[in-house]
Structure 1
Amino acid sequence: MDAVQHDAPRRRVTARLRELRFDAGTLCLNLVATVGRRPEAPIERMGDAERLAAWCHGVGVTLEDGYDPQDVLRSLHALRAAAHDIASGAVDGHRPRQRSVDLVNRLARTEPPAPRLELTADGEWAPKGSRRLTKEALLSLVARDLIDLMTDDARRSRLTACASEVCGMLCLDSGGGRPRKWCSMRRCGNQAKAAGHRLRTSAR
């Protein structure tokens, strides 16, 4: 299970650091990004029913009525740990644990609902995330997304980690222009620029 350790050195955790991230480039990495500041001082960003609902909305999925939030969270956290183990291996070269691979393969066996076009009563096209998924279907979507990422040489080669030592968020480089160094220029990129400016100023 992707449990967040609480014995790490204490650092100031702001509301921004607890914000959910939806800019990692693909569904499985957006799940991995629900833990921030790996591995030194991990921050749980999806630890309760409210955050689970917000994450589902952010990635464009809707769970069936009557689901047990804690049950879904436990399953997503386990998949999250496996996905991080596997995806980070493509960045740092470590071999993922076999249990991570086995979990992803097992969850991917469930057949997710086929995509379909639906018109609402007022004649509008129903949004993609309007169909309600079982927990098993959601887990399968994420697992299959990870499998697609890891078995596509071109996409896998674009996997990178934020250059910030306190962030390290896994994300997909767009593949166009300059290589992606930061998870976000508005976040870690600007912080690095500000830190560099302070260093240069103090050295004068």
Structure 2
Amino acid sequence: MVVMYFPEFRTGRVLATSFTGTLSERYGEALERIPVPSRLADWLADNALTVDSCNQAQLDRARELRESIHAAATAVANEEPLPSSAVRVINECSTQGLASPVLTPEGSREWRLGSGSVEDALSVIAADAIGLVSGEREGKISLCASPTCQAAFLDTSRGHTRRWCDMNLCGNREKKARFLANKRKKATSTD
């Protein structure tokens, strides 16, 4: 089995927001990180949700769940009502799989998939999204300040003042743009 490397998604260690990160730069030049079913299977395996196989219909359903999670997280971040279609998809995916949380000997929680199907894995992601959107996690759902990114992330910083999904990507890109703009402004003012 070939394991594909997936860059650590900018949304932190929250499974649901990491999953929404499989489509990045949503409002710019969008980059689809799960373009084919095998990439979805690889992403799931990389996140301890190994499935037996994946087909196009399952990939389509996974993308529908991803967009529903992003829509719900965006609504929470903007203090708007949850879109009913997003709630429906998240709930359907949550209840359609056979997955159970299990306690490891080290005292942490892992998920055991009932049948090794994509539906089982999606139920885990949907359950994580329910915990996130319903406010069960400590932190605040925020959106990246980059106008082309707008990735949802869980802000656990003191005072909930984090602006970027990832300082090394979006934050540095913004700093560089400001630096270059100031440099051009100074160059024009001295001419």
TM-score above 0.5: yes
Match among 140, 158, 165 for residue 123 of structure 2: 140
Deviations 1:62-92 (A, max 9, x none): 11x2x23323211211111211111110112
Aligned to 1:69: 55
**Are 1:53 and 2:41 an aligned pair?**
yes
Aligned to 1:11: none
Could you say if the C-alpha distance between residues 47 and 71 of structure 1 is closer, same or farther in structure 2, counting changes exceeding 3 Å? same
Shift of 1:113: 2.8
Shift of 1:51: 2.3
Aligned to 2:141: 159
CA contact (8 A) 2:27 2:147 kept: no
Aligned to 2:152: 170
CA contact (8 A) 2:17 2:153 kept: yes
Could you say if the C-alpha distance between residues 23 and 195 of structure 1 is closer, same or farther in structure 2, counting changes exceeding 3 Å? closer
What is the root-mean-square deviation of aligned Cα atoms in Å? 2.7
Amino acid at match of 2:94: A
Aligned to 1:115: 102
Tell me the percent identity: 25
Aligned residues: 175
In structure 1, distance between residues paired with 2:20 and 2:30: 12
Match among 151, 175, 178 for residue 193 of structure 1: 175
Amino acid at match of 1:55: W
Deviations 1:29-48 (A, max 9, x none): 11111111123543212111
TM-score by length of 2: 0.78
In structure 2, distance between residues paired with 1:133 and 1:175: 36
In structure 2, distance between residues paired with 1:43 and 1:94: 27
Q: Secondary structure at the match of 1:187?
A: helix
In structure 1, distance between residues paired with 2:180 and 2:65: 40
**Are 1:29 and 2:13 an aligned pair?**
no
Aligned to 1:184: 166
TM-score by length of 1: 0.74
Could you say if the C-alpha distance between residues 60 and 71 of structure 1 is closer, same or farther in structure 2, counting changes exceeding 3 Å? same
In structure 1, distance between residues paired with 2:23 and 2:126: 17
In structure 2, distance between residues paired with 1:190 and 1:183: 11
Amino acid at match of 1:52: L
